[in-house]
Amino acid sequence: MTTELNVFHADSLAGPMRALKQAFEAKHAGISLKLVSGVSRDLARRILAGEACDVFAPSSPAVIEQDLMHKKPAGSDQDAASWYVVFSANEMVLVTARGNPLGLRRVSDLAGEQVKFARVTGENDLACGRTIEFLKRAAAQEGRPELAQQIIDNAPADPDRPATIPDVVNAVTTGRANAGVVYYSAAVAARKEVDILRFPDSVNMSEAIRNAATVPGSARNAQLATQFVRFLLSSDAQAILRETGQPPLVPAIRKGAVPAALA
């Protein structure tokens, strides 16, 4: 019989998680990971609403601390979270269509009249604020701070349909946009279809972007879920994270009542 683990993870972890799933299942016969991708805070709300989740991996430990700790999911008498480990980092990058037809090299180039720019727009999506800060930092470093708000305002935004990281990648790969700002891991996952422009650490938000993991108190298979989190901290998983645009944190940061198996 196969035991299925539900893994809720941030959109930015989609590419890495597919590779991690393959490696983990190869080492653990009889365990199947069901990956559920989405906006971190939206996924946290689903956990509190009682949806089955065995491992939760948001794009910020703050989501676990603020949205899940000391709160109980519907139908459970256990806290939604009592610990977490911080296992990898990320950065914001600029992506263009393959070959970079417009020759974009700097963030200030996005202010050009011929440029169609896409960005994450959902206020609850951490990538939205990170994108805005990234644009402000880059424009200031390039000596054109006044262009940041213009670039932000020029990106299409529909309050009823907020754009996510996958939406931005799709806009660029389908030609609806010439460029977009996404997480490096999302760009690496789409590298056959996009060109990636990286920026200095002082600009790319890498100091602020951290990926965490926990096993919710309502998990159906807590012991097996803890095995997967332990795998995330292994050298094999760290190699996968490096290859997929998620530099691992070594040693990982541990907070709260972390299980002995992860100490």
pLDDT tens per residue across span 28-63: 999 999 999 999 999 999 999 999 999 999 999 999
pLDDT of residue 1: 76
What confidence score (pLDDT) does residue 88 get?
Answer: 97
pLDDT at 201: 95
Which domain, by its residues, includes 8?
Answer: 3-89+209-262
Tokens linked to 86: 């911080």
Question: What separation in angstroms does the CA of 127 have from each of 11, 72, 74, 94, 236?
Answer: 10, 26, 28, 13, 28
Query: Contact 71/78 with Cβ under 8 angstroms?
Result: no
* In-domain check, residue 203: no
Q: What angle do CA 14, 61, 225 make, to 5 degrees?
A: 60
Last residue of a domain, one of 155, 175, 197: 197
Q: Rounded to whole angstroms, how far apart are CA atoms 222 and 49? A: 18
Computed from CA positions of residues 171, 174, 180, 181, in that sequence, does the dihedral angle turn out positive or negative? positive
How far apart are alpha carbons 257 and 263 in whole angstroms?
10
On the question of pLDDT at 123 being above 90, the answer is no
Whether the per-residue pLDDT at 258 is higher than 90: the answer is yes
Q: Let me know: does 111 contact 153? Beta carbons within 8 Å.
A: no
Q: Is 2 exposed, middle or buried (0-12, 13-18, 19+ CB in 10 A)?
A: exposed
Q: Where a domain ends, among 165, 197, 229?
A: 197
Show which of 141, 162, 197 is a domain's final residue. Answer: 197
CATH of the domain at 158: 3.40.190.10
Task: Give the model's pLDDT for residue 134.
Answer: 98
Q: What is the pLDDT of residues 13-23, one digit of tens each?
A: 999 999 999 99
**Is there a single domain that holds both residue 96 and residue 189?**
yes
Q: Does residue 230 lie in a domain region?
A: yes
Residues 228/233/235/239 CA torsion (nearest 10 deg):
90
Domains: count for the chain:
2
CA–CA dist 203, 213 (Å, integer): 26
When pLDDT is averaged across residues 149-155 and rounded to a whole number, the result is 96
This prediction has a pTM of 0.91
pLDDT of residue 2: 87
d(CA 259, CA 32): 22
